[in-house]
Chain A
Amino acid sequence: MDNQGPRTIDIGDFRPGKPPTKVILTGALLLIGALVLFSAVFTIQPEEVGIVLRFGKYTRTAEPGLNFKLPAPMEKVLKVPVQRQLKQEFGFQTMEAGVKTRYSARDFVDESLMLTGDLNVVVVEWIAQYRVADPYKYLFRVRNVTKTFRDMNEAVMRAVVGDRSVDEVITIGRLEIENQAKFMLQELCNQYETGIQVEQIVLRSVDPPDPVKPSFNEVNQAEQERERAINEARGEYNRVIPKARGEADQAIEQAEGYAIDRVNRAKGDAALFDEVYAAYRRAPEVTRRRIFLETMETIYPAMQRKILLDSGLQGVLPLLQLDGAEVKK
Chain B
Amino acid sequence: MKQASLFAVLVIVLLIVAALGGAFYKVEEWQQVIITQFGRPVGDPVTSPGLKIKTPFVQTANCFEKRFLEWDGDPNQVTTKDKRFIWVDTYARWRISDPLLFFQRLTNELGAQSRLDDILNGETRTTIAKHDLIELVRSSNREFISSTDATDLEDQEEIVYGRAVLQAEVLETAKKRIAEADLGIELLDFQIKRINYVEQVRTDVYARMISERQRIAEKYRSEGAGEAARILGSKDRDLKEITSEAYRQAQEVRGTADAASTAIYAEAYNRDPSFYAFLKSMETYELTADANSILILTTDSDLLRFMKSKQ
A interface with B by C-beta (< 8 Å): 53-58, 110, 113-121, 139-144, 147-148, 151-152, 154-155, 158-159, 162-168, 171-173, 188, 191-193, 208-209, 211-212, 215-216, 218-219, 221-223, 225-230, 232-234, 236-237, 240-241, 244-245, 247-249, 251-252, 254-256, 258-263, 265-267, 269-271, 273-274, 276-277, 280, 284, 288, 291-293, 295-296, 298-300, 302-311, 313, 317, 320, 322, 324-325
Contacts and interface: CB of A to CB of B under 8 A. Distances in A.
B232 to A, nearest CB: 5
A307 B147 contact: no
Task: Determine the main DSSP class of A at the interface with B.
Answer: helix
Contact of B209 (A191, A215, A240, A288): A215
B213 A233 contact: no
Contacts of A141: 67-68
B8 interface: no
Interface string B230-253: 111011001100110111011101
B28 interface: yes
Nearest to A270: B268
A168 B206 contact: no
Contact of B231 (A58, A171, A234, A248): A234
A326 to B, nearest CB: 12
B264 interface: yes
B26 interface: yes
A314 B63 CA distance: 160
Interface of B: 26-31, 48-51, 65-70, 72, 91, 93, 133-134, 137-140, 142, 144-148, 150-151, 155-157, 163-164, 188-189, 191-197, 202, 205-206, 208-210, 212-214, 216-221, 223-225, 227-232, 234-235, 238-239, 242-243, 245-247, 249-251, 253-254, 256-258, 260-262, 264-265, 267-269, 271-272, 275-276, 278-279, 282, 285-286, 289-300, 302-304, 307-308
A303 B291 CA distance: 4
Contact of B91 (A155, A236, A276, A308): A155
Contacts of A158: 192-195
Given A216-B213, A237-B235, A258 B254 contact: yes
A147 B70 contact: yes
A299 B286 contact: yes
A258 to B, nearest CB: 6
Given A209-B206, A215-B210, A222-B218, 15 more contacts: A56-B27, A114-B195, A142-B67, A162-B139, A163-B140, A168-B145, A215-B209, A215-B214, A223-B220, A237-B238, A249-B246, A255-B251, A292-B303, A299-B285, A303-B290
Nearest to B288: A299
A306 B297 contact: yes
Which 5 interchain pairs have the tightest Cβ spacing? A259-B257, A226-B224, A248-B246, A255-B250, A266-B261
B218 A192 contact: no
A220 to B, nearest CB: 9
Given A143-B68, A255-B254, A309 B298 contact: yes
A306 B293 CA distance: 9
A191 B278 contact: no
A57 B29 CA distance: 5
27 contacts: A57-B51, A117-B134, A120-B205, A121-B206, A143-B65, A143-B68, A143-B70, A148-B70, A172-B145, A211-B206, A226-B223, A226-B224, A228-B224, A233-B228, A233-B231, A234-B231, A236-B235, A237-B232, A241-B238, A244-B243, A252-B246, A255-B249, A261-B257, A292-B303, A303-B294, A311-B299, A311-B308
A226 to B, nearest CB: 3
Nearest to A226: B224
Contact of B227 (A148, A226, A266, A274): A226
A274 B210 contact: no
Given A119-B134, A228-B224, A222 B216 contact: yes
Given A211-B206, A230-B224, A248 B243 contact: yes
B30 to A, nearest CB: 5
Contact of B224 (A121, A229, A240, A299): A229
B295 A306 contact: yes
Contacts of A306: 294-297
Nearest to B251: A255
B242 A244 contact: yes
B247 to A, nearest CB: 7
Contacts of B299: 308-311
Contacts of B282: 291-292, 295
B242 A248 contact: yes
Contacts of B254: 255, 258-259, 262
Nearest to A255: B250
Given A120-B205, A191-B189, A225-B224, A163 B142 contact: yes
